[in-house]
Amino acid sequence: MTQHSVLGTQHSTWVGQPFPRIEDRALLTGLGQYVDDLTLPGITHAAYLRSPHAHARIVRIDTAAAEALPGVCAVMTGEYVARNANPQRMRIKAAGSPNVYALAHDKVRYVGHPVAAVAAVDRATAEDALDLIEVEYETLPPLVVAADAMAPGAPLVFDEIGTNVLWHDTFVYGGVDEAFARADQIVRERIDIQRYSSTPLETFGSMAQYDPSNGAYTIWGHTQMPGQELGGISRALRVSAGQVRFIVPRMGGAFGNKLRPLNLISLALLARKAGRPVKFIEDRREALALSQSADMQVDVEAAITNDGEILALRIRGIVNEGAGLDFALRHNVLMLANTVNCYRVPAVSYEGYSVVSNRPPIVANRGIGKPVMCLAIERTVDAIAHTTGLDRAEVRFRNFIQPDQFPYETPSGNLYDSGDYPALLRKALEIIDYDGALEKQREGRSQGRLLGIGIAAGVEPGISNAGHNALIGESKITGAGEAARIRMEMDGTVTVYTGGLEAGQGHATALAQVVADQLGLHPDQVRVPLTFDSGTHPYVMTSGNYSNKFHGEDVAAAIGAAQKIRDRLLNRASSQLDAAAVDIELRDGRAVVRGVPDRSVAIAELAASAYGSLAPDQAEIDEPGLEVVHVHTDPMAIRMDANRRVKIQLSFPSAAHVALVEVDPDTYETKVLRYVIVHDCGREINPMIVDGQIHGSVVHGIAAALLEEFVYDAEGQLLSGSFMDYLKPTSADVPMIEGDRLATLSPFTPLGTKSVGEGAAVVAPAAIASAVENALEPLGIRIGALPITPSRLWTLASEGGARYGHADN
């Protein structure tokens, strides 16, 4: 591993070690305690009646027969919800404010839209009751593709908004028109990307209980943003946030999918109506319908010189948001953030459309708009190579932001922290033996084999700055940060609580390593409860597990809290050792006077005195007890400027991917032969965990490129609603992931870390698309859409087509 720079004087024993995960033991022995493993006395089970139509008016609902079924405890419809809860707050400014409730009220807007909820003594009885609910619908024309929803005179998904174009805006940064005027050539690309999902193996779930004695709720449920969720839930339920105890158990994967505020609200209301606690676990069909990224279309125009230099980009993105407002506009904002990828492009314009339709509401799947933007830019770079006759790697080398240009400010205002993009690509090409691969490709082609080499490079922005909400007219939540509370127990071990959540990333292990370093402890002496509980865990609105913010915000919050504990310990040690606090260090479980190893005291002894020595003369040494809260606010997360430039993200890991594929000339099935990734996420807290994140993320990206697609018919019915039709990669489908790492440290995070986790899923689709196009070069086929399926490719090749795109666009 190459270290481009070294960390300052930070003493580190545990950070940087591949420390085995402390999470594992419970998970390996079946003691994971996921939400479906929890229960309560008197528990009931919920099932939702969901719309079979993509677009319809609800004329009448009759629940009498369901209510009479033995074992049914409550039946709830949208009408009850509208009477007893507030509608969802609109995040964005639109002409009118639609009243969106936790159950469909007047209309159903997608297949799967919940119309009624039942609580019963068991799940089977609840599902039996659904069959007894009669709903009369008046169907309306379904709007399935964005182009139809945008057409003049199209029926409205939300009548109150008055248009299906929820948002449309254009951002111009730098002299775009001037650059196009002086360009030698203009290269154009159109990219269509499907709806897909990382599909956590554990589906969304929740459990709710209402206490009529004090009007308070307890909700155990999935979220990735506990602070914002708590705000939204309490507001909808018309109670204070202090009357909702929100518990988020360890999650069996999340990937941005586990955000269902309306579901949590409806379940809380159902528990109240039933007078008993109620649990709801989505089945896989529900999870597939409700965990989709947006389908999008991106048009890129690149003004270039004959030497392949990119002078400017004009980009237009159309996002099909589906029938939801929860997460609307996020894809567009994050696409705007990543328009230049890893290239030195001085001028950019971005025109974005957010369109509502009768597909299900989208969620935040791993990368959120960044995979499609990376794909669009990387496809454009391949097209530039095609146009200029330059090698694809060479075009990238000519346009890369150079190592001496960091920190590098992009046209839209992101400040890239660190990187050495040429070194990443050089290393990846070296590992794959690029020249050798080209030679083998020539040989293979002479034998009729379709071998392809794919190249992609990417910046993988992480840590959202909520200040970017100003781009879409919302400014209630700004900045970036996280909260941590640390209690040193009376035995000298510590317990760390943060507003972050665990969904498989090993955050407990990483935090234990970080805090152990700060306090001179062993990681085994650091406890990190994996279940978030608003009763014990601190939180702010930006809290949670999203945008790969852990390494920056969560770690900084924990360090801040640990340093407060350290200062308190040093006060006590100073008194006991008769030395100035600055002369004392914490290591190996002891407070030691620097350079005088025999003048020391056990940290456990100091902790015990903090809890026990309360006599006035003792208590004045330091405030008794040893518990602190620290809220970290990221100094880089400044607000938008007058030219609408804003740091949309704050962390910029990067990677180069090279893939070797072979396309079967008879079946057009693509097989990935080798996959190399060389990445740079700065300093790694735990390299073993980093490797695991990279592997999983790459495979998500490969699968998005070749396998996974939520297919909708013209009526808005999901045709790939099971794992028989929605194809996940199996162990037999993917190769070992090869590669290496470089580390250019971020100057903006306490430990020099950068994000990791979603990054490889951002770049991998581009690498695969590049590889397949390269394999198909003898047939002259260009790739303009994902996923690249054998049947579509076969059809295209049989017809002698030249562009793999979506027919309806």
Partner 1 sequence: MSADVDWGVDVKRSVTMTVNGTQHTADVEPRLNLVDFLRIDLGLTGTHIGCEHGVCGACTVLLEGEPIRSCLFFAIQADGTTITTIEALAVDDQLHPIQEAFHENHGLQCGFCTPGMVLAALAFLEDNPSPSEREIRVALAGNLCMCTGYVNIVKSVQAAAAALAGKAGT
Residue 165 to residues 92, 158, 190, 356: CA-CA distances in angstroms?
A: 13, 10, 21, 7
Decide if residue 121 touches partner 1 (CB under 8 A): no
Give least dist CB 68 to partner 1, A: 4
Q: Does 351 bind partner 1 (CB under 8 A)?
A: no
Q: Which is nearer to partner 1, 43 or 154 (CB)?
A: 43
- Rounded to whole angstroms, how far apart are CA atoms 658 and 430? 10
Considering only residues 6 to 35 of the shown chain, the ones binding partner 1 according to CB under 8 A are: 20-21, 23-34
- The residues in 284-323 that bind partner 1, with binding defined as CB under 8 A, are 284
CA–CA dist 762, 367 (Å, integer): 6
Q: Peptide bond before 212: cis, by omega within 30 degrees of 0? A: no
* Residue 132 in contact with partner 1, rule: CB under 8 A: yes
The least distance separating partner 1 from the CB of residue 514, rounded to whole angstroms, comes to 18
Strand-pair category, 278-281 with 295-304: unpaired
Yes or no: say if 207 and 326 are a contact pair by the CB < 8 Å rule: no
**Binding residues for partner 1 restricted to 768-787, rule: CB under 8 A:** none
Structure letter (DSSP) for residue 694: H
- Nearest 5°: phi and psi at 673? -85, -45
Question: Per-residue x/- mask for partner 1, residues 203 to 222, rule CB under 8 A?
Answer: x-------------------
Q: Is 674 in the site for partner 1 (CB under 8 A)?
A: no
For partner 1, the closer of residues 556 and 706 by Cβ is: 706
Taking Cα atoms as reference points, which of 755, 757, 767 lies closest to residue 702?
A: 767
* Smallest distance from partner 1 to CB 132, Å: 5
Q: How far is the CB of 30 from partner 1 (least distance, A)?
A: 2
Cis peptide before 538 (omega within 30 of 0): no
Closer to partner 1 by Cβ: residue 131 or 136: 131
Instruction: In whole angstroms, give the CA distance from residue 466 to residue 479.
Output: 5
Q: Which of 4, 13, 36, 529 binds partner 1 (CB under 8 A)?
A: 36
Q: Which range, of 47-55, 196-204, 469-477, 581-589, touches partner 1 by CB under 8 A? A: 196-204
The interface with partner 1 within residues 255-274 (CB under 8 A) comprises 255
CB of 726 to partner 1, least distance (A): 10
- If binding is defined by CB under 8 A, does position 184 make contact with partner 1? no
Q: Which is nearer to partner 1, 29 or 446 (CB)?
A: 29
Binding positions for partner 1, 694-733, rule CB under 8 A = 695-700, 722-724, 728, 730-733
Q: Rule CB under 8 A: say whether 565 interacts with partner 1.
A: no
Say how far apart CA 568 and CA 548 lie, in whole Å.
31
Distance of closest approach, residue 702 Cβ to partner 1, in angstroms: 9
Minimum CB separation of residue 119 from partner 1 in Å reads: 16
Q: What angle do CA 398, 185, 346 make, to 5 degrees?
A: 50
Nearer to partner 1, 20 or 215 (CB): 20
Nearer to partner 1, 30 or 212 (CB): 30
CB 237 within 8 A of CB 217: yes
Piece of the chain touching partner 1 by CB under 8 A; list 194-202, 402-410, 575-583, 800-808: 194-202
Of 598, 364, 561, give the one whose Cα is nearest residue 482.
561
**Which residue, 260 or 485, is less far from partner 1 as judged by CB?**
260
Smallest distance, partner 1 to C-beta of residue 38, A: 9
- DSSP string covering 327-395, please? STTHHHHHHHHTTTTTB---EEEEEEEEEE-SSPPP---TTTTHHHHHHHHHHHHHHHHHHHT--HHHH
Site for partner 1 in 414-443 (CB under 8 A): none
What whole-number distance in Å separates Cα of residue 711 and Cα of residue 255?
A: 21
Choice between 30 and 389, CB closer to partner 1 = 30
Contact yes or no for 505/549 (Cβ under 8 A): no
CA-to-CA distance for 112 and 114, rounded, in angstroms? 6
Of the pair 78, 200, the CB lying nearest partner 1 is at: 200
The answer to the question of residue 688 lying near partner 1 (CB under 8 A) is yes
CB nearer to partner 1: pick between 46 and 187: 46
Provide the b/e sequence for 618-653 (b: ≥16 CB within 10 Å): eeebbeeebbbebbbbbebbeebeeeebbbbbbbbb
Per CB under 8 A, does 128 bind partner 1?
yes
Contact call for residue 365 and partner 1 (CB under 8 A) = no
The Cα 610–Cα 603 span in angstroms is 11
Q: Which of 98, 112, 200, 221 binds partner 1 (CB under 8 A)?
A: 200
Place of tokens 């400017």: 312
Shortest spacing between CB 502 and partner 1, in angstroms: 8
The count of residues interacting with partner 1 (CB under 8 A) is: 65
Q: Does 131 bind partner 1 (CB under 8 A)?
A: yes
Among 3, 95, 106, 124, binds partner 1 (CB under 8 A): 124
The residue (of 95 and 711) whose beta carbon lies closer to partner 1 is 711
If binding is defined by CB under 8 A, does position 346 make contact with partner 1? no
**Shorter beta-carbon distance to partner 1: residue 189 or 708:** 708
**Should residue 41 be labelled a site residue for partner 1 when binding is judged by CB under 8 A?**
no
- Rank residues 206 and 234 by Cβ distance to partner 1 and give the closer one: 206
Give 199 or 339: the residue with its C-beta nearer to partner 1.
199
Measured between its terminal Cα atoms, the distance across the chain in Å is: 45
471's tokens: 């781009």
Closest approach of partner 1 to the CB of residue 737, in Å? 5
Contact in structure between 161 and 95 (CB atoms under 8 Å): yes
Instruction: Tell whether residue 136 is a contact of partner 1 (CB under 8 A).
Output: no
**Six token digits for residue 565:** 């504990």
| x-marked contacts with partner 1 along 451-490 as a string, rule CB under 8 A | ----------------------------------------
Neighbours of 126 (CB within 10 A): 28
The alpha-carbon radius of gyration of the chain (Å, integer) is 27
Q: Which of 134, 159, 177, 394 binds partner 1 (CB under 8 A)?
A: 134
Q: Is 642 in the site for partner 1 (CB under 8 A)?
A: no
Helix residue spans in 69-112 (DSSP H): 78-84
What CA–CA distance (Å, rounded) separates 488 from 726? Answer: 48
HEC sequence for 654-665: EEEEEEEEEECC
- Closest approach of partner 1 to the CB of residue 22, in Å: 10
How would DSSP label each residue in 287-342?
Answer: HHHHS-PPEEEEEEEEEE-TT--EEEEEEEEEEEEES-SSSTTHHHHHHHHTTTTT
CB of 705 to partner 1, least distance (A): 14
505 is an interface residue for partner 1 by CB under 8 A: yes
Q: How far is the CB of 125 from partner 1 (least distance, A)?
A: 9
CB of 739 to partner 1, least distance (A): 11
Interface map 56-95 toward partner 1 (x if CB under 8 A): ---------xx-xxx-------------------------
Q: Which residue reads 């599909």 in tokens?
A: 199
The strands making up 107-108's β-sheet, listed across from edge to edge, are: 107-108, 56-62, 134-139
Tokens coding 224: 């990735």
In the complex with partner 1, the residue whose CB is nearer, 69 or 621, is 69
- Applying CB under 8 A, which residues contact partner 1? 20-21, 23-34, 36-37, 65-66, 68-70, 124, 128, 131-132, 134, 198-203, 250-253, 255, 281, 283-284, 503-506, 688-689, 691-692, 695-700, 722-724, 728, 730-734, 736-737
